[in-house]
Amino acid sequence: MMGKRVFAPKLYYQLSLDQLVPQNHLLRQIATAVDFSFVYPLAKSHYSHTGQPSIDPVVIFKSMLIGYLYGITSERRLMSEIQVNLAYRWFLGYDFDEAIPDHSVLTKVRSRFGVAVFEKFFERSIHICAEAGLLGEGPVYVDATHVGAAASLESLVQREETVSPPLSVKDYIQKVYKDNPEPQEEDGATSLKSLPVDDKTAPEYGPEVHSHPETRKRSRGKTNQEYVSRTDPEATIIHRIRDGLRLAYKAHMAVAGKRGLVVTAAIATTGIAGEEHLLNDVLKSHTQHTGILVKEVVADTKYGTLANYVSLDQAGVTAFIPPHERTNGVNGFWGKDHFRYVPEQDIYFCPAGMPMKRAGTWPGKKRVIYRCEPGTCQTCQLRKECTPYGNLRTVTRFFDQSLIEEVKARIENPVGKELIRQRKTRIEGIFALGKELHGLRRTRLMGIWKVQIQLWLTATVINLKRAVKALTARLEGVAPTQTDNPPSAIAITTAPLYFSFTTAN
């Protein structure tokens, strides 16, 4: 017989919030594993010693954790969910009949605390992972991913139309040149093109946009040089073959640990910041957070620049990073892979078997130039495939090319191959998890410092989930009892509650 449910609300209930939350609930496990009282000293200096008591900062951080754990990216919706979700209420220490803080509290606290407090919060999650036995010496995996900005392409306006951010000195000079063009030179090049672009003198965000000619080329129509988002001026235009144009930031992360599962560094930048320039910062951040020196680093080809190899070598770090170099030739002509270097003699042998000796150096590019004897190439039968203009063929080699050769040999051995293979599943797995479940796909907040906070919170929940899993596995076989109540900073009422149900018709 088909049943039919008829809701008949009682006037009085005898129940306990604690009993309603399952023993194996993730929030209960986190509350057991983490003593959130560390938040008080972090937050203390940001409150006055007089006045009305604030919302408990532990409640604020726990609320944010709930949002990132369950992918609730809207803070309004988060507080609405907390209002009706018993487990969330239990985690925060709010009883059935207690009012939940307003969503605006989260915004205020974010501005009040700034990035330093949230970084410490993230750092604490790493220490919890270490206490759970997840962290130790081993390779550090580094990578970066784009995070969509909370701004539409519709918000793009010409830079001239906006006053925020103001033009930098370099941009202003470029604008002056653009507004007052000089006569064309004979070869058609204008003096504007010869303006040097110096990354080192560029301020942190805005002008970085202008220092990436590749990005300008790829942006197809709308460039960061000309357009800025009115909604989020710090978001930058990127172009991806699959997604087309979009506004984005970039998340640079390091992952380490015995199983390579703990996020140890997370840095937010504009969407066009080259990850190869951030490698040292990410590794420094890893060491600062974990207290463990990096001995081996694994990353993809984008990080394989000579500058990175040199700095890693000087720091005593073993690199497992495929070099970012072009071995194939230009326009179908033979590339460097057709030439064999003999280190004992410091010469190359060309495809025709002719020796190519040192012919000089190229200090600006930090390279040595190698050539055959004059006249050799002109009479060579292979020159149609070898030298584009029928001239003497040249091959160059970095002063520190031996470092690149070492890395190439290292990543070809079984250990190197295994680490390169692991990189994909480890750090890219973290990105996938963050994007799928923990709000990394798109920023909710505008401005790079808020995106940085979001990144740390995403990393924190990933770490806490790992730590809780490890700690739970360690306790496997020990059944939780009613006395195993969480040592939460907020007192949880475990006694049965009696209250009047006032919503009955």
Rounded distance between C-alpha atoms, residue 399 and residue 362, angstroms? 10
Rounded distance between C-alpha atoms, residue 166 and residue 206, angstroms? 9
The alpha carbon torsion through 11, 16, 19, 21 (nearest 10 deg) reads 90
Provide, rounded to whole angstroms, the least separation between the CB of residue 335 and ligand SF4.
Answer: 12
Q: Which is nearer to ligand SF4, 19 or 391 (CB)?
A: 391
Provide, rounded to whole angstroms, the least separation between the CB of residue 287 and ligand SF4.
Answer: 46
Provide, rounded to whole angstroms, the least separation between the CB of residue 215 and ligand SF4.
Answer: 36
Q: Tell me how far the alpha carbon of residue 99 is from its chain's centroid.
A: 36
Q: Which is nearer to ligand SF4, 177 or 362 (CB)?
A: 362
Provide the token pair at 260.
Answer: 């390579």
Provide, rounded to whole angstroms, the least separation between the CB of residue 130 and ligand SF4.
Answer: 56
Q: Which is nearer to ligand SF4, 380 or 461 (CB)?
A: 380
In 152-295, where do the E strands start and end? Answer: 156-158, 227-229, 236-240, 244-256, 262-270
Q: Which residues make up the interface to ligand SF4 (CB under 6 A)? A: 350-352, 354, 372, 376-377, 380, 382-383, 386-387, 393
Q: Which is nearer to ligand SF4, 28 or 393 (CB)?
A: 393
Q: Which is nearer to ligand SF4, 88 or 339 (CB)?
A: 339
Q: Which is nearer to ligand SF4, 63 or 387 (CB)?
A: 387
Q: In terms of Cα–Cα distance, which of 337, 343, 380, 338 is closest to 358?
A: 343
Provide, rounded to whole angstroms, the least separation between the CB of residue 349 and ligand SF4.
Answer: 9
**351 preceded by cis ω (within 30°)?**
no
Provide, rounded to whole angstroms, the least separation between the CB of residue 183 and ligand SF4.
Answer: 42
* Ramachandran region, residue 425 (left: φ > 0; alpha: ψ -120 to 50; beta: rest): alpha
Q: Show Cβ contacts of residue 163 under 8 Å, excluding neighbours closer than 6 positions.
A: none
Q: Which is nearer to ligand SF4, 263 or 377 (CB)?
A: 377
Q: Which is nearer to ligand SF4, 83 or 378 (CB)?
A: 378
Q: Which is nearer to ligand SF4, 363 or 375 (CB)?
A: 375
Q: Tell me how far the alpha carbon of residue 211 is from its chain's centroid.
A: 21
Provide, rounded to whole angstroms, the least separation between the CB of residue 355 and ligand SF4.
Answer: 9
A 10 A CB-CB count for 41 gives 9
8 A C-beta contact, residue 283 and residue 314 = no
Q: Which is nearer to ligand SF4, 371 or 438 (CB)?
A: 371
Provide, rounded to whole angstroms, the least separation between the CB of residue 230 and ligand SF4.
Answer: 55
Percentages helix, strand, coil for the chain (3-state, rounded to 5) are 45, 15, 40
Provide, rounded to whole angstroms, the least separation between the CB of residue 380 and ligand SF4.
Answer: 3
Phi/psi at 250 (nearest 5 deg)? -130, 135
Strand-pairing partners, residue 370, are 358, 395
Q: Which is nearer to ligand SF4, 162 or 376 (CB)?
A: 376
A 10 A CB-CB count for 228 gives 26
Provide, rounded to whole angstroms, the least separation between the CB of residue 361 and ligand SF4.
Answer: 19
**Cα dist from 261 to 69, 264, 430, 433, whole Å:** 17, 9, 8, 11
For residue 448, give the H/E element and its range: helix 448-474
Provide, rounded to whole angstroms, the least separation between the CB of residue 342 and ligand SF4.
Answer: 15
Provide the token pair at 411.
Answer: 């990543």
Q: Which is nearer to ligand SF4, 85 or 394 (CB)?
A: 394
Provide the token pair at 144.
Answer: 């970066």
Strand-pairing partners, residue 398, are 367
Provide, rounded to whole angstroms, the least separation between the CB of residue 365 and ligand SF4.
Answer: 20
The alpha carbon torsion through 118, 121, 125, 128 (nearest 10 deg) reads 170
Q: Which is nearer to ligand SF4, 167 or 352 (CB)?
A: 352
Provide, rounded to whole angstroms, the least separation between the CB of residue 360 and ligand SF4.
Answer: 16
Rounded distance between C-alpha atoms, residue 32 and residue 123, angstroms? 19
Q: Is 478 exposed, middle or buried (0-12, 13-18, 19+ CB in 10 A)?
A: exposed
- C-alpha torsion sign, points 386, 389, 390, 396: negative
